[in-house]
Every structure is written in structure tokens, then in C-alpha cells.
Amino acid sequence: MQLKPINQQVVSVVGASSGIGRETALQFARRGAKVVVSARSEPKLNSLVDEIRASGGEATAIVADVEAFDQVKAIADRTVEVYGRLDTWVHCPAIAVFATFDNTTPEEFQRVVNINLMGQVYGAMAALPHLKREGRGALIHISSIEGRRSFPYQSAYSAAKHGIEGFVEALRVELQHEKVPISVTSVKPAVINTPFWNNARTKLGVKPAGIPPYYDPKLVADAILYVAEHPTRDFLVGDAARALDALQRLSPELVDSLLLLIGFRLQRSSEPKSEDERNNFYEPVPNDTRVEGDFSHLVIPSISDWLSKNVLFK
């Protein structure tokens, strides 16, 4: 399966207003790709397009909510309308509510599934006809290590990420059966230092936190650009993701014990926050266009990512 060099690609990045999506769009543009960016917030998208164009890149924005299939389809259709084709689809949006399962309402659980799982499904459905028409391309779905191992306080988020793994596996085999050369990749980051932790809804009484270590969002963007050129089934981002994946395969009960030991305490920061305070659960957070979050002091490098791209896959 052959994918185009990035500087020859037309790329749609969904969920590009901040965090991983924003950094990914910026990196694609720096490498010469034509980029279509989408999210719920028009001002934040406009700031991204301005940043890309100021650096000499080419970008177009479209406001869309991934909960609505027609809006997701409009992203793919607009990409082809403006640039004539679609080569790579990158789907990033995710929301979260941090709460125990029995303190999560049916409506909250459903909304997380709608955005984090059905949004990804809609993205694949919208992009696939255009990729098939081109005869090649890449579907890149941003999942999580929680697609392999669920965490406490995140039952809805983990369920949605497990769902992503289910549908992309089926889709991948169907495309192989049809002999359609479209790469389908699940990117599974470990804990990443983005504004996700600031913007999540919380019922813990405090701002939620990730279980350290954290990794730089640039590491995830680097992985996305890598799989956009190199067909890859799964790409785990961060040494901790690979270690946890191996441990889960070896002994889920051991991971249970580990999460009982650290999983509850470390997901609670010391910063008070009520469930009514600012979050992006129903509406985007205005003006927050940051790529990085508040945990830069806990960010570490990852050796295995470099090995995966430069040694293990060669």
C-alpha cells in the first residue's frame, strides 16, 4: 500500500482548534500539505488558519459539530470542493466527564459516546467515499491507551475508545477484502499534556489530572504524520502506553491492582473545581487555543516512539 508524501497531500483534521488536533494541523501545513481544519469554534479555527497562512501554508476552515453526521459529511465534501480530493482524514475530537460510573448520568454517558465514538464513525463514513474514489489514502483515528485498558473515573470515555477499536478493526478487514488500498490506523496515546484536563467536566470536586507521566502533544502529531505516509495498523504513543499495553496483555488483574493503588489518587489534582465550572462538555471553551496544558513539569520524552518509526518497522 502506497501513501503520498505529505507535501502532496490534502488533509482534513477534525478537532483542530486546540491540543493534539491543532498541533497536527500546524505540522501538516509546515510539511507542505493543504489542510482543512474543523471544530465547533469559528474564532479558534480562524486563529489557526491565520497562523498557518502566516507561515506560508494553505488552510481552509469549516465549523462543524461531530455529533451531527451531516456536519461531518460537510467537512469531507468541502475538502474535495476546495482542493479537488481528500488524501488523509485525521479525527481527533473527544470530551470527558470525570466521575464514578454510578455518578454519571445516562445523558452524560450517551454524549461522550456520541462525540468520542459516533463522531469517529461519522468521520470514517464521510471520508471513505472520497478516499475510495482516489483509490488510496489514510483514515487516522485518534483513540487512546484507554481503548486497550479502561481507567476508573472514565467509564464513558474508556467505553467509547474501546468502541473505536471495534469498528476500525472490522472496517480494515472489509477494505482488505475489497482490495481497496486505504490505510486504517488507530493512534493510541498515553497521557498527553493538552488542555483536555482543564476542559473536561468533573464531578470529583477538583480539576482532573492524568496518571503520570505526561507526554508532549507534539509526540502524537509526529506519530500522526508518520502514519499518514507509512501504512500502520496501530501506533501507541509514549513509553507508558506500550508498557501498560504489555502489562494488560500479561495480567489484567495486575493492572487492576496498580490502578487501585494509584489510579484514583493521581487523577485528582489539588485544584478545586465544581462540575458547573468552565468545561467543553456541551460548548467549546472560548479563546483556549493552546496546544499544551498545565502539566509541562511532568512531561518526559519517549524512546519507543523513535524506535517504532526508525527501527522496529524497518
Distance between CA atoms of 282 and 201, rounded to whole angstroms? 9
End-to-end CA distance of the chain: 15
Q: Which SS3 state, helix, strand or coil, does residue 139 take?
A: strand
Alpha-carbon distance values, 308 to 77, 235, 250, 251, 280 (Å): 34, 8, 21, 24, 34
- Quick one: how far is CA 67 from the chain centroid? 15
Told to judge if 157 belongs to the known catalytic residues of this protein, a careful annotator would answer: yes
Exactly one of 157, 214, 215, 226 is catalytic; which is it? 157
Omega before residue 213 within 30° of 0, cis: yes
**How large is the greatest C-alpha to C-alpha distance in the chain, in angstroms?**
53
- Written as one string, the DSSP assignment of 117-133 is IIHHHHHHHHHHHHHHH
Catalytic residues: 157
